[in-house]
Amino acid sequence: MANLQGYVKPGSIEESLSSQIDFTRLPRHIALIMDGNGRWAKARNLPRLSGHRAGIQSVRDVVETCARLEIEYLTLYALSVDNWKRPATEISGLMRLIIEYMNLELDTLIRENIRFRPIGRIEQLDPAVQQELQKGVARTAACTGLNFNIALNYGGRTEIVDGVKRLLKESLAHGGQIPAVDEDAFTSYLYTAGMPDPDLLIRTSGEMRVSNFLLWQIAYAEFYVTETLWPDFRAQHLFEAILHYQRRERRYGGLSDSFAATEPLANQR
Ligand code: IPE
Ligand code: IPE
Ligand code: MG
């Protein structure tokens, strides 16, 4: 089971929060929309890219905390297919930051047994970025701890369309036969094939929308929004999100246990 000893300082807010977590009921998969970098920079009269740069420390913190908690999957939303609408200088700055992050962190990821995988239309990214990402994938392929996905040039609708295209291609290769597809079978055509759906979806910076993130997979994810801007997000905020998650009752369309038990038999037709 997770061991935070030596990771959270005795007497700190992190210790107080993490001591309330039920380690037997952690989310298997946490998805996170990292938002608010621009606003963080604007509040300090800095260029937007400084906000993105500051966000790297939050990425480090959250990845390490999830690894310590022994969370199985973490998916961070770093660049959407719609972010290309932004000025070219912001996009090229983000690409440089991705390369920088990979160079800086790859050894740590390997040391911490973290398996790295980008999801999205990676083939459309700059070749230099693709090369760094591929290096990360290859060098962490044998890691068996936290599965760390980073969504880059990602769109939820794009992912579903890409899945349908793959399915059609496969069926053409098999003589045009329409395969038997159900929900389970279809998930194997998504970028997240083989991974459990997110249990907890966190968004920073107070925005109440999903912005095209993991549309298929979040059907029953618990949504948690914090006002904290991404560059200010630390282990403490992750603990708060997990504590909120553990107070929720997940019903998946069914009834709450207590309600089902008290309903008179006559009404159960
Ligand atoms: C999130 O921060 C990072 C990316 C989308 C790349 P934003 O850049 O969206 O920051 P705000 O929302 O403008 O504050
Ligand atoms: C979502 O944030 C995308 C990422 C965090 C990478 P945006 O800032 O792009 O989303 P909107 O425009 O507020 O919906
Ligand atoms: Mg934003």
Contact 120, 190 (CB under 8 A): no
Class of domain 26-155+195-267: alpha beta
For residue 106, the CA-to-ligand 1 centroid distance in Å is: 24
Cα distances (Å, whole numbers) of residue 255 to 5, 165, 221, 224, 245: 38, 37, 17, 22, 18
pLDDT tens-place string over residues 33-60: 999 999 999 999 999 999 999 999 999 9
Taking the alpha carbons of 226, 228, 230, 232 in that order, is the dihedral positive or negative? negative
Report whether residue 33 contacts ligand 1, using a CB cutoff of 6 Å. no
Report whether residue 191 contacts ligand 2, using a CB cutoff of 6 Å. no
Among residues of the chain, what percentage have pLDDT more than 90? 90
Amino acid at 24: T
Q: Where are the domains of the chain?
A: 26-155+195-267
pLDDT tens-place string over residues 141-154: 999 999 999 999 99
Report whether residue 39 contacts ligand 1, using a CB cutoff of 6 Å. yes
Amino acid at 48: R
Asked if the model's pLDDT at residue 94 lies above 70, the reply is: yes
Kindly give the number of the ligand 2 atom that is closest to the alpha carbon of 207. Answer: 13
Query: Helix 48-69 to helix 235-247 angle, to the nearest 10 degrees?
Result: 60
pLDDT tens-place string over residues 178-230: 788 999 999 999 999 999 999 999 999 999 999 999 999 999 999 999 999 99
Instruction: Please tell me the pTM assigned to this model.
Output: 0.96
Return the pLDDT at 177. Answer: 85
For residue 38, the CA-to-ligand 3 centroid distance in Å is: 7
